[in-house]
Chain A
Amino acid sequence: MAATVEICESNGAGETVTHNISNTNMGSTDAANLTTTSYPITPGTRSYIKYQRFHVTAMGGSSSVKNLKVWRSGALSGLDSHVTNARTSSYGGALTYATPVDTAVTGVDQTMPTSEPSSANLGIGGSLTGELTSAGYSDYLGHQLVVDSGTTAGTTATMYYKYSEVA
């Protein structure tokens, strides 16, 4: 058997956790599994930040889950940018959850990679070399879309969430 891993998103002041999300659509509200057309982002503003985590619900006989990587494939609209706390070096430690906002968040200022990183860029227990050896969560992945003032329409892209599993 293998470990069972899902991606969870946290929203709201009391941190409601939506487990095993269906999408990571960015929008003008703080909610999981967004329908983008219902929550368009005004040009010149940001989406609400997403706080997401890898969640190991069961180890399935494996000894560890580690080496977490996140990236996006697919272009953004015009001069839009996609920022994150994920980084392969000088990792800032575990991002602290806060009620999601549509403004800049300290530490969530790296450019989301557009190809698979060469090494882990999201930590466990505050460290890129951290491991999960039992059910539990990764650090929070914070990411947000910065929409340029000249943007007139969004695009569709794919987010990748990858991990290594040691039998």
Chain B
Amino acid sequence: MSKHICGQCQKEFKKEEEYLEHECEVLGRKPTEPEPKEEAKEE
């Protein structure tokens, strides 16, 4: 039976849907969410 692993936080899931819905502790976001943009620094 196939399984899905988050390559960042190493959590394992039985279904891809579960992987897509998890909030990755390493990335701080779900796999379906874009990477946060870097805030411009004030000089």
Instruction: Using CB atoms and an 8 Å cutoff, list the residues of chain A in contact with chain B.
Output: 1-2, 4, 6, 8-9, 14-22, 32-33, 57-58, 60, 135
Query: Do the beta carbons of A21 and B1 come within 8 Å of each other?
Result: no
Give complex CA distance A22, B9 in Å: 10
B contact patch SS: loop
Question: Which listed residue, B1, B5, B7, B31, touches A14 by the CB 8 Å rule?
Answer: B1
Chain B residues within 8 Å of chain A by Cβ, number: 17
CB < 8 Å A-B pair total: 52
**8 tightest Cβ-Cβ pairs between the two chains A and B:** A58-B32, A21-B7, A20-B7, A18-B5, A18-B7, A57-B32, A57-B31, A15-B2
Instruction: Using CB atoms and an 8 Å cutoff, list the residues of chain B in contact with chain A.
Output: 1-8, 16, 19-20, 27, 31-35
Give complex CA distance A135, B20 in Å: 11
- Across-interface contacts of B16 in A (CB, < 8 A): 17
22 contacts between A and B (CB under 8 A): A1-B34, A2-B34, A4-B32, A4-B34, A9-B7, A16-B3, A16-B4, A17-B2, A17-B5, A18-B6, A18-B7, A19-B19, A20-B6, A20-B7, A20-B27, A20-B31, A22-B7, A22-B8, A33-B7, A58-B32, A60-B34, A135-B32
